[in-house]
Amino acid sequence: MTGLRRLALISVHTSPLSQPGTGDAGGMNVYVWQTARRLAQRGIEVEIFTRATSSSDSPIVPAAPGVLVRHVEAGPFDGLDKRDLPGQLCAFSANVLRAEAAQAPGYYDLIHSHYWLSGQVGWLARDRWRVPLVHTAHTLAAVKNASLAGGDTAEPMGRVIGEQQVVAEADRLIANTRTEADELVDFYDADPDKIDIVAPGVDLDCYTPGPRAAARAALGLVDQAVYVTFVGRIQPLKAPDVLLAAMAPLIRADPTGRLRLLIVGGPSGSGLARPTALVDLAARLGVGDRVDFRPPQPPADLVQVYRASNLVAVPSFSESFGLVAIEAQACGVPVIAADVGGLGVAVVDGVSGRLVAGHDVDLWTGELADLLADPVRLDRYGAAAVAHAREFSWEHTTDALLASYDAAMGDFPPGPTRRAPLGRRARNWLRTRPRMAG
C-alpha cells in the first residue's frame, strides 16, 4: 500500500447515516457506509463530507471507530431536491476546502467521490490539495436516459456534461461491473486503463437465511400467504408499477387468496410528485387489499422482510448493480430481475433466480406465474442464491478499493488531462432528446 493514512470521502447529496429507501438514500448510502467502516478497520482514517439537511445535524459526527461524518452547510436545510444541488456546489466546495485548510498541510492523502455532484467537488479539491481523485459514478445519466421509464423525466444535459468532466479528470474510475466499465467507455469515452472493476458487497453477517414463519410473525404478515416482495425507492426508475401491474392478474385469479405483494420503500425522485400513485394503482387494479405497503426498514428488520418472502422482484429500468438482489439472495430468497446493468451479475439466470428481458407487463406476468407455480424450483433457486451471494462481501470490495487507491497514488501526479469529448452514445442522445418548450 502506498502510504494511505487519511481518506476524504465525498458524498454530497446523501448521507451514509440516512435510512436507505427514503428520499435519495439507497444503495449508495449502504456502499459508502460499509466500505468506510471496513477501510477504518484496516487502519485508514476516513472522513465523509456530506450536505447538512437539518439544523440539528452536528458538524462532526464520530460515526464509527475511525470514521467521521462532516455535515457541510450548503444551502437551506430543507426543500432542496437533488436537481437543485448543482447550484450549491460552490458553497459545499468552499466549506470542504475550509475544513482541510484548518489542518496541517498534507492532511488528506486521497479523495474518493461518489456520484457526479461529489465528483465535481472532488475535482476541485484534488487540484487544491494535490492528491489523487478516485471516482465512483453509481449511476450514469446517459445510461438512464437511454432506458427511461415511461413518464419519467430525463436527466438534464448539465448532468451529462458534468459527468463527462469528472470522468476526464478523475485519476481512477471505479465501475461496479464490466457492463458499467463498458458504458463509461462507450457513453463518456473514458480511458479503459484507468477503470477498476470493483463489485459491491453484502453484509454476510447481517443478511443470512432464517425461518420464514418467524420472520412473518415478527412483521405481522400472513403466515400461509405467498409473498412477492419489492424493496426500494418508489419511483419510475425502479419500476414498482410494472411489478404491480404484472402481479394484479395473478392475484385476481388466485383461487386461494394467498398470493400477496409486499412493497417496502418510500417515494423518491420523480415519484415524489405523486406519492400515492402506487397505492392508487393497486386500488384501480382491484388488488389493494392484497398489497401490503411498508416504509423503509433498517437492516435488522429488512432481513426479516427478505426471509418472509417467497420471491423478491427487482424490475428496475436501470441498475449499476442492484444491492437488493444480493441481500435477498444472501437470505436464501430467489430473485426475479430485469436483465439490465449489473443485475446480470447480481442474479445468475436459471440458477439463483430469473432475468427478464425488458419491462413488458405481460412478459413479467408470465415469468412470475411460471416461478410461483413451481415451489420446488423456487426452493432450488433459493439454496443456490445463498452460495452465489457469498461471492460478494464488503471485505472483497474493500480489498479491491485499496488496490485502486494504491494505483492512483502510485501514478500521481498524472500527466496532462485528456479533455475527452462526449462519448458517441451520449452525443447521439443529446442530438435526439426531446427539446423543452420555451
Which residues fall in the annotated binding site for Mg(2+)?
Answer: 306-307, 309
Grid cell for residue 130: 494535490
CA angle, residues 343, 349, 355, in degrees to nearest 5: 55
Residues annotated within a binding site for 1D-myo-inositol 3-phosphate: 13, 24-29, 82, 115, 139, 159
The Cα–Cα gap between 214 and 331 comes to 14
Grid cell for residue 213: 414463519
**Eight-class DSSP state of 421:** P
64 DSSP β-pair partners = 67
For residue 234, report the phi and psi dihedrals to the nearest 5 degrees: -90, 95
Residues annotated within a binding site for UDP-N-acetyl-alpha-D-glucosamine: 19-20, 27, 233, 238, 297, 319, 327
Helix (H) or strand (E) holding 113: strand 110-114
Question: At which residue does the C-alpha cell 427511461 appear?
Answer: 148
Residue 269, CB-side half-sphere exposure with 13 Å CA sphere: 18
Residue by residue, DSSP assigns 124-184 as HHHHHHT--EEEE-SS-HHHHHHTPPTTPPPPPHHHHHHHHHHHHH-SEEEESSHHHHHHH
Residues annotated within a binding site: 13, 19-20, 24-29, 82, 115, 139, 159, 233, 238, 297, 306-307, 309, 319, 327
